Amino acid sequence: MSSTVERRRPPTAQQFVLEELRRAITSGELRPGDPIRQDTLAARLDVSRVPLREALKTLEAEGLVVHHVHRGYFVAELSLADLEEIYRIRGLLETEAVTAAFARAPDGLLESLERIQTKVERAADAGDVSAMAEANRRFHFALIEASGMPRLVRLITTLWDATDAYRSLYYTDDSHRALAVHEHRAVISAVLELDLAAALHWLDEHRCHAVAALREVLAHE
């Protein structure tokens, strides 16, 4: 795990382990199908097995890890059909959220998107996959949360959580990071111009490109 874990250690051991596991999964350090070796992990993070088990249960509920009897925990694997279904549902729900966000037009949304996009571009230029995935998520949820519909936000969050392990597979490629930057900029322009149709178009393109790239990755695994 990261050598800087002590500096960013959250208040509880369980939350600390949860964040480190999420970071390892979204950065690609732990890939879909990889086993999670609890003894080794507990030693590296300097925690007992209790907070580790609780963190794994949380991630299992989110669909990020799976537990096999007598074998232990593994990073969840999705079939191509699973992945395509999740992205299809995301498209439906996110369209509703963004439409509501445009109708509400909350103050500060454009500035928030610009601020987060700076972090997206910084991570893209540095090739920092973990930071890119985190900033990308913050960008999208700034729009989604602007809908003012917390139940809808929770549903979309569950779908994003289920595919976190695959985000790093997409952002390891330089061209994919550059494409995401371009598409985010197009979304920001649409928000500036209050052009809902353009925003939905670019968000749809964004999802479609990710699915197409992941389809290629899964086909070769």
Residue whose pair of structure tokens reads 């879909």 in the numeric block: 32
Which of residues 219 and 189 earns the better pLDDT score?
Answer: 189
Residue 6 pLDDT > 70: no
Q: Quick one: average pLDDT of 186-204?
A: 98
Summarize the confidence of residues 157-175 as an average pLDDT. 86
Using the predicted structure, report yes or no on whether residue 8 has a pLDDT greater than 70. Answer: no
At residue 2, does pLDDT exceed 60?
no
Residue, of 216 and 54, whose pLDDT is higher: 54
Domains of the chain: 13-75 (1.10.10.10), 80-219 (1.20.120.530)
Closest alpha carbon to 213 in 29, 76, 64, 80: 80
- The closest alpha carbon to 152, from 99, 197, 103, belongs to 99
Helix (H) or strand (E) holding 119: helix 109-126
- CA 142-117-165 angle, to 5 degrees, is 70
* pLDDT cut 90: percent of the chain above it: 57
pLDDT at 11 over 80: no
Across the range 188-211, mean pLDDT stands at 96
Q: Write the pLDDT tens digit of every residue in 76-124.
A: 888 888 889 999 999 999 999 999 999 999 999 999 999 999 999 999 9
Model-level pTM greater than 0.75? yes
* Rounded CA separation 59/117 (Å): 28
Q: How far apart are CA 25 and CA 171, in angstroms?
A: 13
Both tokens of 210, joined, read 């990710």
Give pLDDT tens digits for 31-43. 889 999 988 888 8
Query: Radius of gyration (Cα) for the chain, nearest Å?
Result: 18
Which residues does 165 contact at the CB level (< 8 Å), separation at least 6?
25, 26, 30, 31, 32, 64, 75, 76, 78
Which of 7-11, 17-21, 124-128 has maximum average pLDDT?
A: 124-128
Work out the pLDDT band at 5, boundaries 50, 70, 90: low
Q: Report the mean per-residue pLDDT for the chain.
A: 89
* pLDDT given for residue 1 in this prediction: 52
